[in-house]
Amino acid sequence: MVDLHDSAFLKAARGEAVPHTPVWFMRQAGRSLPEYLKVREGVAMLDACADPDLIVEITLQPVRRYGVDAAIFFSDIVLPLKAVGVDLDIVPGVGPVVAEPVRTLADVEAIPDLTPDRIPFITAAVQGLVGELASVNGGTPLIGFAGAPFTVASYLVEGGPSKEHAKTKALMFSAPEVWDALMRKIAGISAAFLRTQVAAGASAIQLFDSWAGALTPADYVRYVQPHSARVLAEMAELGVPRIHFGVGTANLLDVMGEAGADVVGVDWRTPLDRAIGVVGDRGVQGNLDPTLVFAPTEVMTARAAEVIEAGRAAKSHIFNLGHGVIPSTDPDQLARLTEFVQAYPLA
């Protein structure tokens, strides 16, 4: 078995000195890759996320093509809900749609807990990936994936994607006992999903809180942070580095870090040097604007250099985009960006 302990990504995630700035891309597994579109042809998203062979192939594709420093497990934020029996589907052009949104305590209690026997395909996929990744680029670590409680709760309460999260906040403010039960339920599901991945060989985890930016710091601390903290604390017990990322979270970076992250992901809206000043004694991840890959290469790399230079002030820095890869991205540009970041001098 290849020892990944000294990989650039894991060293950075632990806050240690690195041979080069490690780089990977959120949503690198799919979307923009022609080889991904080919294997996904005619296969529904959630079906792809439950097929070990497809999970392995799709997760490996960007690692082979770009030589990034980490693989991100191919899955979807609502897959654990589907696995426990929630009636939902991912509608093309819309996103996850829940047939019967959560409104009451009885609705929460009707959601089963997630146990390993419900997701044997996750164990099989991670084990297969770890074996394959051991021989790619001298050994590449796998990042486990899960949605954070607030974001998953928002899908359940709203019944689908939302810009305002009005129903979610209404439940949070008007029925705190239902909200607390729902968040406890989802925290348990997210932790179980990540624990299964780590047990099968994932080397680190990232907890995605895509919609947390809709909250004020006070509401985040009161209604959300304890539940994200529970998930991250369970991962700490497993001894893996923890990355916590949210979108539009400039006002939450300090309290998201305090939830238990080793590394705080920063979206492109917040200058990295400003973020470093508020995350505390933690690493940062990010944060090139995803649209810069559509600019001329020299413009893209010049802005990437600015991100890397800003990252020097942090405890550690993992280069990434400030959000996911846009589907129309030219894969060759991401290859150039990867090469640029990995070759950029550390001193």
Report pLDDT digits (tens) over 4-39.
889 999 999 999 999 999 999 999 998 899 999 999
**Within-domain flag for 171:** yes
**Within-domain flag for 1:** no
Residue reference for tokens 């029996």? 85
**Within-domain flag for 3:** no
Catalytic residues: 27, 31, 40, 76, 155
Residue reference for tokens 């030219």? 330
**Within-domain flag for 178:** yes
For residue 96 the two structure tokens come to 């996850």
Per cent of the chain over pLDDT 70 is 99
Domain that holds residue 50: 8-343
Q: What CATH number should be reported for the domain holding residue 272?
A: 3.20.20.210
pTM over cut 0.85: yes
Domain count, the chain: 1
Residue 217: its H or E element: helix 217-223
**Within-domain flag for 268:** yes
- For the chain, 347 residues long, give each residue's pLDDT as a single digit of tens: 567 889 999 999 999 999 999 999 999 998 899 999 999 999 999 999 999 999 999 999 999 999 999 999 999 999 999 999 999 999 888 889 999 999 999 999 999 999 999 999 999 999 999 999 999 888 999 999 999 999 999 999 999 989 999 999 999 999 999 999 999 999 999 999 999 999 999 999 999 999 999 999 999 999 999 999 999 999 999 999 999 999 999 999 999 999 999 999 999 999 999 999 999 999 999 999 999 999 999 999 999 999 999 999 999 999 999 999 999 999 999 999 999 999 999 97
Query: Are the C-beta atoms of residues 270 and 305 closer than 8 Å to each other?
Result: no
Other CB atoms within 10 A of residue 287 CB: 25
CA dist 44 → 41, 76, 179 (Å): 8, 12, 31
**Within-domain flag for 267:** yes
Q: Under 8 Å CB-to-CB from 283, ≥6 apart: which residues?
A: 12, 13, 15, 262, 263, 264, 314, 315, 316, 317, 318
139-169 confidence digits (pLDDT tens): 999 999 999 999 999 999 999 989 999 999 9
**Within-domain flag for 17:** yes
